Amino acid sequence: MAFDYDLFVIGGGSGGVRAARIAASEGGARVALAEESRMGGTCVIRGCVPKKLMVFASGYPQAIADAREYGWDARVDGFDWVAFRTRLHGELDRLEGVYRAGLTRAGVEIFDCRATIADPHTVALADGRKVTAKHILVATGGHVDFPDAAAREIGISSNEVFHLDALPERLLIVGGGYIACEFACIFTGLGAKVTQLYRGAQILRGFDDEARGLLAEEMRDRGVDIHCGTTIIGMERGADGIRVRCSNGHEHLVDQVLFATGRSPNTAELGLEEAGVRLGRRGEILVDAYSQTNIPSIFAVGDVTNRINLTPVAIREGHAFADTVFGGKKRAVDHELVASAIFTQPEYGAVGMTEEEARELHRIEVYATSFRPMQGAFIGRSERVLFKLIVDAKSRKVLGCHIVAPNAGELIQMAGIAVKMGATKEDFDRTVAVHPTISEELVTMRTPVRTA
């Protein structure tokens, strides 16, 4: 059978774009891609990139306050949200253009509309056309989950944050994951009064207990009012704001309520089940190590598969798919020991196991130190950092590394290389420290603080 395309990609996020570009430019495939929203997906348009720019913006008041303590005659006036937002959107437009240009140069045909699967080799476009492809790749990412209809009607999600007409003076954030914690720190840094509600016992469930405990303390010290073990029991919008009643008996009057209560794969009404594609209990597309579904012609990469929902992972999956199917290089993505960073203030970087995970599977030694860094201690700031290594007592391999500190995202990238290579505690010990730095603690901890 002759097909219109060798590959049709549904979704123009990081994973889909990488797959399309590599398949066309390096694999010589005839490729088309459909995107119903904006090219670049969650990361570029409504996630990592705009969020990180907001992180930068939110850090200047503290930096300027520190500069005064160091002797500078420094002042900061009120934050101009509209000016920042205008520049932010201009940058996102530029990046979207870069994505489009890369696809066009590679020879990928772009359809700016929704696409669904009609059968294992046919894609239906929203304009009524149908096209055929030898292979179909689904890379539609995920969507925001609201807990109920009232939350959807009254609240906003991280998608709407970048389009607010004005910066809220009083903000309630619901959720305890990394998105909730990042925006709690961002808006506090920008001058808002932030309250954060989380139903669990501690924020950042699934991360290392010691690290998330310290981070919660630091967030509170910076002004985030965190309430754990708490949920919303009522919410009404009035002339003076949104009145929120909580299960702990507190009531909050705020300008905005931001729900960061999770995300789910974008698989609804795509025609997947009708085509016979198996889905998981959360709606994720089930794939093998090569991103292939149970239908041989249909593949999926990125958040829609709910493996590791990080942009660099989606890019790797998309590239590996293109190499496997069109490049003659069968390649599976290694999802083990993927480093990650949470861009709170301070940041949290992690790679490998938490202490809680490691003690279930190994006999371990824990090396950890928490202290006030020189830069802040000099001017009387109370901020503390944490450096932590979890070591297998028998093999001496470093099973996990956790850093809570300024620029922890930058530091964990370097530590991640060593952990991925299988470095032992003695490899760290043999490395001469760079002094004076906070990261020298990674190679100077000689005695375990506990064993298990």
Catalytic residue positions, numbered: 435
CA 257-260-264 angle, 5° bins:
135
**Six-digit token string for 189:** 């840094």
Measure CA of the first residue to CA of the last residue in the chain; give whole Å. 61
Q: Which of 115, 4, 31, 3 is nearest to 321 (CA)?
A: 31
Neighbour-count burial of 63, counting CB atoms closer than 10 A to its CB (0-12 exposed, 13-18 middle, 19+ buried): exposed
Q: How far is CA 311 from CA 3, 17, 87, 205, in A?
A: 31, 12, 23, 21
Q: Is the Cβ–Cβ distance between 79 and 41 less than 8 Å?
A: no
Distance CA 343, CA 349 (A): 9
Helix, strand, or coil (residue 238): strand
Detail the DSSP E strand segments found in 64-213.
109-111, 115-119, 122-125, 130-138, 142-144, 170-174, 193-198
Detail the DSSP E strand segments found in 247-311.
251-254, 256-259, 263-265, 298-300
Q: Is the Cβ–Cβ distance between 11 and 41 less than 8 Å?
A: yes
User: Rg of the Cα trace of the chain?
Assistant: 24
Helix, strand, or coil (residue 51): helix
Distance CA 350, CA 337 (A): 10
Strand partners, 110: 33
**Dihedral sign computed on CA atoms, order 152, 158, 162, 166:** positive
Helix, strand, or coil (residue 360): helix
Q: Is the Cβ–Cβ distance between 33 and 24 less than 8 Å?
A: no
> What count of other Cβ atoms lies within 10 Å of the Cβ of residue 195?
22
Q: Give 433's DSSP letter.
A: P
Q: Which of 109, 51, 103 is nearest to 318 (CA)?
A: 103
